[in-house]
Amino acid sequence: MRVDEVYFVERLLMMIQDPKQTLHYLHYLLLEQRKHLEQDVWRGLPELTNENGAFCKDSCPTQAWSASTLLDFLAVVHRLD
């Protein structure tokens, strides 16, 4: 899941009758970001990526807004529990 898609997913969760049904799938979509965070020297998410999340040499290796967007999403998920 790209960071810009997180905002969409947050809004979608708020509109679904039973949002817990989708949480497993959403966590699955975030596996790539989790793997990246675990393996990255900076422990952060890049500012930009190329197609399909490929490395972009012109991108900053970590951006606060990238991490904060995921944290916002996880806060929404936590409130649903």
The predicted-structure confidence for 30-56, as pLDDT tens digits, reads as follows 888 899 899 999 999 888 889 988 889
Report the C-alpha gap between 67 and 80 in whole angstroms: 20
pLDDT attached to residue 39: 94
40 in Cβ contact with 49 (< 8 Å): no
Q: Provide mean pLDDT across the span 18-40.
A: 83
pLDDT band at 1 (very low <50, low <70, confident <90, very high): low
Q: Provide mean pLDDT across the span 10-36.
A: 78
Q: Provide mean pLDDT across the span 55-71.
A: 87
58 in Cβ contact with 79 (< 8 Å): no
- The amino acid at residue 10 is E
The domain total for the chain is 1
Residue 53 lies in domain: 3-80
